[in-house]
Structure 1
């Protein structure tokens, strides 16, 4: 690889990593988000706040760059790339815990953003540009076989060492592994259409993000809700989210007042849709790629 190529790829890796970090901040600054951390509330969390999330994002930023660089350098070895970024992901998690005083702010986001950054890097190396379809195709080559085998193994051995494993063995919920193995259908089929429509209609960006979050909350099996509040809690969150959307959602006249009421109720019930928040960040990230940023 000649020096000009190295410089070009390094520049791209840093830009894609910066986009991932920006998407995490875009998510946390979306407000109000019932039960979740935002500038107005700590949600159903006593151990984290907006500053915790900012510290976490700053600590993770160099690793997002490294995920993208790994995708560039291992574009022809997709499964090997995934194994490599999982090792980097462990280092990223350690940096997150150190920055937050051992608080898990972004573990799920590290997994998802690691995959998406690496897939974006690989696509840029192979095609000179990145589209949503090519990124998801590359992501599938990276993770699908490995994660499907993992899911089968966890269920066969009835492993319950982590929240995700417990949710799989107890409820049959495949969590972020399943989402990645299936090509992020919640992002592609639920979230991105809402973002596209909101942008097309010229809606306020904060409202578009809230509408997208509630679309995810209305249908996704959120692993964080399952772990904290079991199946009954998940059903109620989905029901309340559906009712909010049917009443006009974030674009309705009384949306802000309703969101504040929901935040109070979610805090009381200990509801926090952290899985959907991570998917919102991923959706923001991919929306930026779709808008023509990548490869330019």
Structure 2
């Protein structure tokens, strides 16, 4: 691995942090997303808005930068795992201050934080592919963090109640919904003529189609999750968002999810992770 100057390392850490923030904002602005905050409004979230999501994303820039600097060319060990855990929890505090106590991006801090750290462990090298970075993130996620507080979150409660994997398992397995579902779908949709927003919505649908989204389960139970998964599959089977039939199915899914109070927040976090890996592994700007 090449030795780099401190200035180059600092610039690359800045790039990773800026990219993570931009991907959170891109995910928030993407429209139309069923059940979620987007350019149309709040979705099912009465305590959220697009402006709040953007303010939250910007508040995390310093956290992502610290994660990149602390992880630069380091091995995956417990010392690093505990460092990124501490930085992630501090980032949550900054987020909560920026949002006046509203949880906007806790799940995204976990997913993107691990991926930012993993990319820095690879020296921010754009030659590293998506799977390499995801597998390095998985190594980190599987390590113990003795400083982690024992908090029984809504997501963990849903995992226990419904006996499904959650965000922790997704990371420990190397983000399979990102690497094997969303990224391939994003590329297929682009190649088939979809514009960038349509391709990103299709990528979101590919995640929603199989993810055991604990945000959906917490709000709408197993009936809600099955509705989300079946509806997302139907969008893709109808040709995706580049086709009128796919857009019509998406509109029906959106109405159904609003009626069920179902929000695919976990899928949204993984879409932001998808956009991050897509961008840092392909130097061509979008």
TM-score (norm 1): 0.88
Question: How many equivalent residue pairs?
Answer: 280
Task: Tell me which residue corresponds to 1:34.
Answer: 34
Q: In structure 1, what is the equivalent of residue 61 of structure 2?
A: 61
1:141 aligns with 2:130: no
Render the CA deviation track for 1:271-293: whole Å, top value 9, x for unaligned: 10000000011001111122136
Q: Which residue of 2 aligns with 1:155?
A: none
Give, in whole Å, the separation in 2 of the partners of 1:64 and 1:57.
10
Tell me if 1:262 matches 2:261.
no
Query: Which has more helix, going by share of residues?
Result: 1
Does residue 237 of structure 2 align to residue 237 of structure 1? no
Q: Which residue of 2 aligns with 1:79?
A: 78
The answer to whether the Cα contact below 8 Å between 1:29 and 1:38 also exists between their aligned partners in 2 is yes
Match of 1:173 among 157, 164, 169: 164
Identify the residue that residue 122 of structure 1 maps to in structure 2.
121
CA RMSD of aligned residues (A): 2.2
Give per-residue Cα distances to partners, 1:88-123, cap 9 Å, x unaligned.
111111111111121111000000111000000010
Q: Indicate whether 1:187 and 2:178 are aligned.
A: yes
Residue 105 of structure 1 corresponds to which residue in structure 2? 104
Segment of structure 1 superposing worse, 84-93 or 163-172: 163-172
TM, length-normalised to structure 2: 0.91
Matched, 1:203 2:194: yes
**Aligned partners of 2:84, 2:30: CA distance in 1, in Å?**
28
CA distance in 2, matches of 1:99, 1:230: 30
Tell me if the contact between 2:126 and 2:283 (Cα under 8 Å) persists in the aligned partners: no
Quote the offset at 1:145 in angstroms.
Answer: 4.1
Corresponding position of 2:243: 252
- 1:6 deviation in Å? 1.4
User: Where does the alignment leave 5 or more consecutive residues of structure 1 unmatched?
Assistant: 151-158
Name the structure 2 match of 1:225.
216
- Residue 130 (structure 2) aligns with: 132
Choose from 270, 277, 285 the match for 1:286.
277
Partners of 1:227 and 1:238 lie apart in 2 by 15
Cα distance between partner residues in 2 of 1:272 and 1:168: 16
Q: Higher mean Cα deviation, 194-203 or 171-180?
A: 194-203
Distance 2:79 2:219 in 1: 34
2:71·2:118 contact (CA, 8 Å) conserved in 1?
Answer: yes
| Unmatched runs of 5 consecutive residues or more in structure 2 | none
Identify the range of structure 1 (197-206 vs 128-137) with the bigger mean alpha-carbon deviation. Answer: 128-137
- The 1:212–1:4 alpha-carbon spacing in structure 2 relative to 1, beyond 3 Å, is closer
| Inter-CA distance 241–123: structure 2 relative to 1 (3 Å threshold) | same
Q: What CA deviation, in whole Å up to 9, does each residue of 1:214-268 have, x standing for no partner?
A: 1111111001001111112111111121222222221222444443443233112
